[in-house]
Amino acid sequence: MNEQEHYNNVDLPFYNAEIAPVLPPQVLDFHAHTWLSEHWKETPWKTESAGAKYMVTLEQYGVEKLLANGKTIFPDRHYNAVCFGYPTPAADLEKTNDYARQAGANNGLFPLFITGRDMIPKEELERKIREEGFFGYKVFLNWYGDDYGSVRIADMIGPNEMDLANELKLIVLLHVPRSGRLADPEIQKGVRELAMTYPGAAIVLAHCGRAYLPDEMKRSIGSVRDLPNVYLDTSMVMDPTVLQLVFENIDSSRVLFATDFPVASMRGRRVYVMDHWVDIVLEGYPPSAYRVASDGIRATFMVYEIVLAIKRAGEMAGLSKEQITRVFNDNGMSLLNGVMDGRQMRRRA
C-alpha cells in the first residue's frame, strides 16, 4: 500500500469509527514542534554525543507540514496547537524561537518561547513575551536525548523566568529530566517547589512527567495531586492504565491532550517492555533508540492511540463524556485564555 492507499483503507475508516466520536469540533494539541533545517547548528542525531540517537525524527518540520498533519489526522475538525521549536543545544535558539513567533501569526497556533535558567536577561524575556505574542515557555533541554546526567529542575529554570511566569500567569511546559522521571524524588521535590513558590504559573509536565508506564505513574501521581497549578500533557502517552491512574488522582481539568508532532504522526504505538517504553512502528522510519519496525502489523497514526488511551482511561475512571471531551480542547484553551489575564489571547483577535 502506498501512503494514500494506507490513509484511505486503514487510517480513515478507523478515524471515522473510533476517533471522531470522541472528539469535540475543535481539537487543541498542547505540545507540537515546528522547525526548519536551517535552524540547526548540527543535526542532533548525527552528532556523536551520548543520547544523540534517542529520538530520530525529521530534518525539517515546517508550519505548513504541521498544519497539514493536523488536517490529515483530524480531517473534519479544526486543529489548533501550542507550538515551539527544537529545544536542545542542536538548534540555534534565536532562529527556532523566531520561527515559532511567526507561526503564531496563524489563527490556531499558540507559540511558546524556548528558554532556560538565565539564558537571557529578565527584561529581554519580558519584552519578548509581552510584545511578540508568546504564551509562555518551553523549558530548554540542555542535553541530548536521554543523556540527563544529574540535572535538577532548579538547573533548568530559575527565579528570573519563574517570577515573570508567576506575574503574567504564563505556561511553563517542562520536560522533566533524569532516568527516574516524575517518579524520581529529586524531580518531585523540584516540581513541588516550583508549583508552590510560583502559584500564578501554569506548570505543564510534558508527556505526563514522562511516566509512560503504569508503574512509573503509580510512583509519580501522588507528588502532584495537591498542586492545582500543575497540569499533565498526554503527548506520546498511549497506555490507558497510566491515564486511569491520572484521572483517579487529579481532576481531569488538569489533563491536556497533546501529540508531540512530528513524533506521533508516525504509524504505530508506544508500548512497554520490562521497564522501558518501546515504539512499535511500520517500516520506513529512520532507526532510533527504542524503535522497532515491522510491516507484520496493522497500524495507524500514534495520535489515534493517544486519543483512545484517554477515552479508555476516562471510562475506567468514571469520567463523564463531557469531562473526556474537554481534555481535547477546553482544558487547554482555558489555560491559554488565562495567560496575562486574557491579554495575550485578545491581542490576536
- Residue among 88 and 229 whose Cβ is closer to Zn ion: 88
Eight-class DSSP state of 38: G
Angular region, 298: left φ>0, alpha ψ -120 to 50, beta rest: beta
Beta bridge partners of 278: 271
- Residue among 306 and 324 whose Cβ is closer to Zn ion: 306
| Nearest residue (beta carbon) to Zn ion | 260
Query: Is 28 within 8 Å of 82 (Cβ atoms)?
Result: yes
- Name the one range near Zn ion by CB under 5 A: 39-47, 258-266, 277-285, 334-342: 258-266
- Name the one range near Zn ion by CB under 5 A: 63-71, 150-158, 240-248, 252-260: 252-260
Query: Is 236 within 8 Å of 210 (Cβ atoms)?
Result: no
Residue 160: how many other CB atoms lie within 10 Å = 18
- Residue among 239 and 260 whose Cβ is closer to Zn ion: 260
Q: How far apart are CA 101 and CA 132, in angstroms?
A: 7
- Name the one range near Zn ion by CB under 5 A: 15-23, 55-63, 253-261, 314-322: 253-261
> Pairing state of beta strands 276-281 and 291-293?
parallel
Given 29, 233, 239, 260, the residue binding Zn ion (CB under 5 A):
260
Total binding residues toward Zn ion, as defined by CB under 5 A: 1
- Residue among 139 and 281 whose Cβ is closer to Zn ion: 139
- Name the one range near Zn ion by CB under 5 A: 137-145, 163-171, 178-186, 257-265: 257-265
- Residue among 35 and 74 whose Cβ is closer to Zn ion: 35
- Residue among 216 and 260 whose Cβ is closer to Zn ion: 260
- Residue among 29 and 260 whose Cβ is closer to Zn ion: 260
- Residue among 33 and 326 whose Cβ is closer to Zn ion: 33
Beta bridge partners of 180: none
- Name the one range near Zn ion by CB under 5 A: 96-104, 187-195, 256-264, 293-301: 256-264
- Name the one range near Zn ion by CB under 5 A: 95-103, 124-132, 133-141, 259-267: 259-267
- Residue among 184 and 260 whose Cβ is closer to Zn ion: 260
Minimal distance in Å, beta carbon 31 to Zn ion? 6
Minimal distance in Å, beta carbon 260 to Zn ion? 4
Minimal distance in Å, beta carbon 90 to Zn ion? 14
- Name the one range near Zn ion by CB under 5 A: 224-232, 247-255, 260-268, 305-313: 260-268
Query: Is 1 within 8 Å of 291 (Cβ atoms)?
Result: no
Q: Rule CB under 5 A: is residue 29 a binding residue for Zn ion?
A: no
Helix orientation angle between 302-316 and 240-249, rounded to the nearest 10 degrees: 40
**Alpha-helical runs (H) found in the chain:** 3-6, 12-14, 63-73, 93-103, 122-132, 153-156, 159-168, 185-197, 207-210, 214-220, 240-249, 302-316, 321-327, 330-338, 343-346
Minimal distance in Å, beta carbon 66 to Zn ion? 13
Query: Is 39 within 8 Å of 96 (Cβ atoms)?
Result: yes
Q: Which three cell numbers stand for residue 170?
A: 504564563
Nearest to 97 by CA among 128, 126, 122: 128
Minimal distance in Å, beta carbon 210 to Zn ion? 11
Minimal distance in Å, beta carbon 324 to Zn ion? 24
Q: Which residues lie below 8 Å from residue 131, measured CB to CB, with a gap of 6+?
A: none
Minimal distance in Å, beta carbon 33 to Zn ion? 6
Beta bridge partners of 115: 139
Q: By CB under 5 A, name the binding residues for Zn ion.
A: 260
